[in-house]
Amino acid sequence: MILQVPITEAVSLIERKTGKAVSMKVVNNSTINVGYQINVKVPLLGHISKNVHMDVTIDKIENNDVFLHYSMRMPGADTVVNTLLAFFANDIHIVERCDNSCLVIHLYEIEEARKVLDKIDINSVTFDDNAALVQFDVK
C-alpha cells in the first residue's frame, strides 16, 4: 500500500511539534531540500539571521530505522546540523549521528510513530513533486 503525505502537511507537522518554521522542496525521488532560518546573537553585532538549506537523501529504511545523509553548500554544515539536532535534546535516542554526514532516525522511539509501526511495516519513502510517498505492508 502507498500513503501519500503532502509536503505542506509535513511542514505543518514539523511546525506544530517544534514551533519552528521550515521549508521543504522536492529535489528528486529520494532527496528533499529542507530550509530553516537560524538566528544567533553575535557579540558586538547583535542578532544575525541566516537562511540555511540542506539536501536530505533517504538511503534506506530498515527495522523501523530511517538511514539518511545530508549535504549543505556551505562551510560549517556539521555545526548547523548539530544546532538543528539540539531540537531533539530531550529525545536524543530518536536521532543517531553517524560518520560522513549520515543520520539514523529511530522511528520506533517516537511515541506517535510506534502506534502505527505496531500495525505496519514501512518498505520505502520516496518523493514526487508535492508529496512523500510511504510504501508499506499491513502486518
pLDDT digits (tens, 9 = 90+) for 78-97: 666 666 666 555 556 788 88
Burial of residue 32 (CB within 10 Å: 0-12, 13-18, 19+) is buried
Q: Supply the range of the domain harboring residue 92.
A: 2-138
- 3-class SS of residue 115: helix
Residue 42: the pLDDT is 83
Burial of residue 87 (CB within 10 Å: 0-12, 13-18, 19+) is middle
The total of structural domains in the chain comes to 1
Each residue's pLDDT tens digit, 37-68: 877 788 888 888 878 888 999 999 999 999 99
Each residue's pLDDT tens digit, 115-135: 999 999 999 999 998 999 999
- CA-based R_g, the chain, Å: 16
pLDDT band at 110 (very low <50, low <70, confident <90, very high): confident
